[in-house]
Amino acid sequence: MELEDIKSKWQSVKPLIDPQLNDEIVKRSISKGTDAKSRLLKRSLWSQIFVSGCLMLLATSRIWAPVKYPYWWLILFCIILLFTILCSLRGYNIVKKINLWEDSNTKIMATVVSLQKQYRNMELITCIAALPLLLWIPFMLPSVKTWGIFFCWSFTLLAFIFEYVWYKSNVKQLNNLINWENE
Amino acid sequence: MENNSDYNQSFAKMVRRHEKIIFSVCFFYATKDVPFEDIRQEALISLFKGYRNFRHDCSESTWVYKVCINTCLFSLRKLSPKIKTLSFDQLPIIHFQDDNDMELKEKLEWLYSVITQLNPMDKALILMWLDDIPYNDIASSMGIPRNTVASRLHRIKEKISSRKEI
């Protein structure tokens, strides 16, 4: 079978296809206005707002929280959150720069792959950095009572299980990207 | 493009001129997670947003191909956890303009089975080649050298050569 066979078949089929594209579909697209890129940017923006809120709450926690965490602990956790915000901001800018109308397929693919890798690395770094800080709470904080320790452990465990599931799904996506040629 | 109304009209005309390109790209890229209608909507929105800035560096059809393929690749990669190709029967019902369409349906089914076995980048290449887009335009759309287009087409040929004809 030659490629020309495929072409001749396509040329014979194409004129007879009715694309079923009516004015209503076009109008709906014009009025909808949000594409995959915009939705992704919006999602990234909301996650940045959420983490920024967490950062502010943590930074001011000594004023309002009943448990006073030591300054070094607060500073370290704030640095982790700040790192997350900066990485998200970088990712946001990378997505924003993707130009579906001018960039080549290869450039878009390379950008998406690097974005996914960056996201994976960010997740790994923040998890590894946050783990000892979270584990420190029930072990070292004398003012936390038994139920508080139980709460801390449960919360830490749940957070990491959730993070692990989330991370695994992202790795799956990343693997799909790497295996692009083999699909 | 003087105002929004003129722009919308001009856009609608452009879509009409290239509706078969939009259809074919979305048809061959639709998956279980990103159905045909959704992916076509994504492509139309991208075309609408980008048409204002179309600089006529290449032909309009090449540009439409580029935007549709880029949108499909981006949408699939960002939205779908795993790309699963659909069986032909799960795709939207194709309406042919002619009533005697059984042979055409078979041909399209065969084309679908051949093209969907390719990876998404090869799929983009073959779709443009099928529509006689010049090698130089394919190369610039894909971001690969012109010679690579020829060698990749050769590889695609090898990949599908084992398939039976209808």
Contact flag A106-B142 (C-beta cutoff 8 Å)? yes
Q: Collapsing DSSP states into helix, strand and coil, what is residue B75?
A: helix
Contact flag A103-B70 (C-beta cutoff 8 Å)? yes
Alpha helices in chain A (DSSP H): 3-13, 23-32, 36-59, 61-64, 71-97, 105-140, 146-178
All structural domains of chain B with their residue ranges:
4-160
All structural domains of chain A with their residue ranges:
36-182
Closest Cα partner for A120 from A157, A163, A73?
A163
Reading chain B (166 residues) residue by residue, the pLDDT tens digits are: 457 788 888 888 999 999 989 988 998 888 777 788 888 888 999 999 899 888 888 899 999 999 999 998 887 765 444 434 445 555 555 555 555 567 777 777 778 888 888 888 888 999 999 888 999 999 988 889 999 999 998 888 888 776 655 4
pLDDT(A182) > 50: no
Contact flag A109-B121 (C-beta cutoff 8 Å)? yes
Question: pLDDT per residue over A37-78, tens digit each?
Answer: 888 888 889 989 999 999 999 999 989 887 788 899 999 999
DSSP-derived secondary structure letter, B131:
T
Closest Cα partner for B25 from B81, B57, B66?
B66
Cβ contacts (< 8 Å) between B44 and chain A: which residues? 25-26, 29-30
Q: What is the pLDDT averaged over residues A11-20?
A: 76
Predicted ipTM beyond 0.95 = no
Two tokens, residue A51: 């983490």
For testing contact with chain B, the best of A2, A7, A10, A96 (most B CBs within 10 A): A10
Nearest chain B residue to A3 by CA distance is: B157
Task: Give contacts of B 83-142 with A, CB under 8 A.
Answer: 83, 92, 94-98, 101, 104, 107-108, 110-111, 114-115, 119-121, 124, 126, 129-131, 140-142
Q: Where does residue A116 rank: exposed (0-12), middle (13-18), buried (19+ CB within 10 A)?
A: buried
Instruction: Give the pLDDT confidence score for residue B90 in this predicted structure.
Output: 52
Instruction: Give the pLDDT confidence score for residue B149 in this predicted structure.
Output: 92
**Is residue A179 very low, low, confident or very high in pLDDT (cuts 50, 70, 90)?**
low
Contact flag B48-A30 (C-beta cutoff 8 Å)? yes
Q: What is the pLDDT averaged over residues A161-170?
A: 79
Q: Residue A73 in contact with residue A136, Cβ under 8 Å?
A: yes
Pairing mode, strands B95-96 and A17-18: antiparallel
Contact flag B165-A7 (C-beta cutoff 8 Å)? no
**Is residue A183 very low, low, confident or very high in pLDDT (cuts 50, 70, 90)?**
very low
Instruction: Give the pLDDT confidence score for residue A59 in this predicted structure.
Output: 93
Cβ contacts (< 8 Å) between A7 and chain B: which residues? 129-130
